[in-house]
Amino acid sequence: MATHTRTPASRRTVRHRLAADVGLLVVAATFVLPLAWVLLSSVDPHANLTVKLPDGVTLDNFDAVLTPEITFTPLLNSLLLCGGGTALTVVCAALAAYPLSRFRSRLNRPFLLTILFATSLPITAIMVPVYALFVQVNLIDTMQGTIFFFAASQLPFAIWLMKNFMDGVPKELEEAAWTDGASPLQSLVRVVLPLMGPGVAVVTVFSFVMMWGNFFVPFMLLLTPEQMPAAVSINEFFGNRGTVIYGQLAAFSVIYSTPVILLYVGVARRLGGGFALGGAVKG
Amino acid sequence: MKRPTRPASGPSPHPVLRSLTRALPLTPATVLLLLFLAGPIAYCAYIAFTDLQLTGQAEDSFIGFENFRTAFGDEAFLNAVWLTLVFTVISALIGQNTLGLALAALMQRASKPVRTLVGGIVVTAWVLPEVVAGFLLYAFFRREGTLNAVLDWLHLPTQNWLYTLPILAVSFANVWRGTAFSMLVYSAALNEIPKEITEAAEVDGAGGWRRLWHITLPMIRRSIGTNLMLITLQTLSVFGLIWVMTRGGPSGKSQTLPLFMYEEAFQKSMIGYGTAVALLLLVVGSLFSVIYLRLLRTEV
């Protein structure tokens, strides 16, 4: 059968594939226009709001925004906030996932259900009370306060993912470590976590990407301009100016977006297209 | 004789002590969640019933359901509820969900390079920071932006989208940004359908639409439920995208509940009132969340 390539069925498959390709490319064309605008405008000396081929390629736009005020300080702030928040999230999630995955307890099910429930709460809704609360306890306009909140808001999903990954590591490997006298903490750090390296990477990258792109949380909780991460500063800087220099706005957008896209690509490649979202949304 | 080992490393004689030691690693996460998530939610439930303001008030007082009564008599609030509904239905239930399913279904058949390319483009839109996505779509929909240039080229009428149809513009922006999620969920679900089943149906002479309706959709209905739940919740809490594109304007025509909440609480300094709106949003979110849990019931 396989040698007869011109059977009606296979011709139909080819036709179907062609139709599917065309359909996908049409949708992709509409998706690509805004992306093309930012890429082309960032190197266009006369960028405006319409997507067009640049009349001459220049790096002036990048030059203009690569200053401490526009780029370096906000990106450093982003790095501090999201790095701190991610570190806290990953450590707490790994610790919490361990007993949930390894020991049977009557508390596991309620805890996991609460976590799953919290995963899908609209965090945006609580930003006003969080602001009011942070004013009362003097955490408003502090990096550490924002980091704590970032970590807490990301934790439910992180614990859930981490637990699912940890379930994939066979218990027998740890038991060997236990007989050698290792404590659970030691076996977690030396045996389990290394074995679920890709899983930890997914949780880390996912948390970081979520925080890096988040606007509302730092917008509410930070007040001094010197502490603003890129998510907020870009809006303040370009949103409140009379005339926007679109080429520079595009250049900054490219600089600000590149790290998370690279991180995402790195993780997605390693784990295949569907990605670990399956851990949370399989149904 | 060997002394009993430390409770942390070996079986302890006391079951209560043992469970406590075992639960110890849960502490940091639990403390963070209680202080920074459960705390604010409880506080939210409290100040929604007070007249807390930012300025010009020595003490807030308990006013019962007054904020909620005000809300339901407030045209701006009802307008925000309506717009939130429109935004959620158009962008999540119809846009992201249908487009995501269509893309995933087409990808099953498409050639590999096209699949990779299209998947990459759609996912990039999803990974972009919220504010950047907002700027890109703002540029796209502006009077002198790309959309009008394309329409002009096709000899179709142009208009100032962000002024005439702002809620539609931000809905499309949310479709652009969020479709990747549904696409990934549905791709995973479709991959799990055994090939034999669709092939058998094909042999029996079931056409594309009938196969979709009678075989594919019933087999992925749990994924459909989960996906609808999650994208509804995500869409209910969109703030940055709309804020960057329209600030909720012009004159409230794209002001969904999160933006209304922000305006009342901060621009008008009515924290109590803003929080009452937040509480309503939380309650709606919790209801969806409970349905979501029931859909996943067998998984935990």
What ipTM is given for this predicted complex?
A: 0.86
Query: Which residues lie below 8 Å from residue B25, measured CB to CB, with a gap of 6+?
Result: A95, A96, A98, A99, A184, A185, A188
pLDDT, average across residues A156-161? 92
Report the distance separating Cα B175 and Cα B169, nearest Å.
Answer: 10
Instruction: Report yes or no: B117 at the A interface, CB cutoff 8 Å.
Output: yes
Whole-angstrom distance, CA of residue B88 vs CA of residue B102: 19
**What percent of chain B has pLDDT above 90?**
37
B94-124 tens-digit pLDDT: 999 999 999 999 998 888 899 989 999 999 9
H-helix or E-strand spanning residue B162:
helix B161-164
Residue B194 gets the label, from left (phi > 0), alpha (psi -120 to 50) or beta, of: beta
Amino acid identity at A103: F
- What percent of chain A lies above the pLDDT cut of 70? 90
> What is the number of residues in chain A?
283
A132 chain-B contacts, CB cut-off 8 A = 43, 47, 52, 271, 275
Across the interface, which of B52, B281, B295 has its CB nearest the CB of A132? B52
Q: Is A64 on the interface with B (CB under 8 A)?
A: no
Q: Are B146 and A49 a contacting pair at CB < 8 A? A: yes
- Evaluate if residue B4 carries a pLDDT over 80: no
CA angle B40, B41, B42 (to 5 degrees): 90
What token pair was written down for B207?
A: 């056409």
- Mean per-residue pLDDT for A195-206? 88
Q: Which two tokens stand for residue A121?
A: 């709460």
Write out pLDDT tens, residues B67-83.
Answer: 888 888 888 899 999 99
pLDDT of residue A225: 86
Average pLDDT, chain B: 85
Q: What is the pTM assigned to this prediction?
A: 0.88
Residue A22 CB contacts under 8 Å (≥ 6 apart), including other chains? none
Chain B residues touching A122 at Cβ < 8 A:
233, 236-237, 281-282, 285
Q: Quick one: which H or E segment has residue A119?
A: helix A108-119
pLDDT at A3 over 70: no
- Amino acid identity at A31: F
A38 to each of B5, B179, B202, B247, how far by Cα in Å? 63, 20, 45, 21
| Residue B96, pLDDT score | 95
**Dist CA A146 CA B174 (whole Å):** 26
What is the sign of the dihedral through the CA atoms of B62, B68, B73 and B74? positive
Measured between beta carbons, the chain A residues lying within 8 angstroms of B278 are 125-129
Residue A118, chain B, CB below 8 Å: the answer is yes
Tell me the shortest Cα–Cα distance from B287 to chain A, in angstroms.
10
Residues in B touching A15 (Cβ below 8 Å) = none
Residues near A194 by Cβ (< 8 Å), separated by ≥ 6? none
Tokens of A203: 């949780």
B167 or B163, higher pLDDT: B167
Identify the pLDDT of residue A235.
Answer: 80
Residue A154 reports pLDDT greater than 90? yes
Give B-chain residues touching A85 at CB under 8 angstroms. none
Give the Cα separation of B52 and B75 in Å (integer): 21
Average pLDDT over residues B271-282: 89
Distance (Å, whole) CA B276 – CA B279: 5
Indicate the DSSP class of residue B88.
I
Q: What are the b/e assignments for B189-209, b being 16+ CB within 10 Å?
A: bbeeeeeeebeebeeeebeee
pLDDT at A274 over 70: no
- Report the percent of chain A where pLDDT is more than 90: 36
**Confidence (pLDDT) at B56:** 55
Residue of B nearest to A153 (CA): B37
Lookup: tokens for B125: 């839109």
**Cis omega before residue B250 (within 30°)?**
yes
> How confident is the model at residue A240, as a pLDDT?
62
pLDDT at residue A160 tops 70: yes
pLDDT higher than 90, residue A148: yes
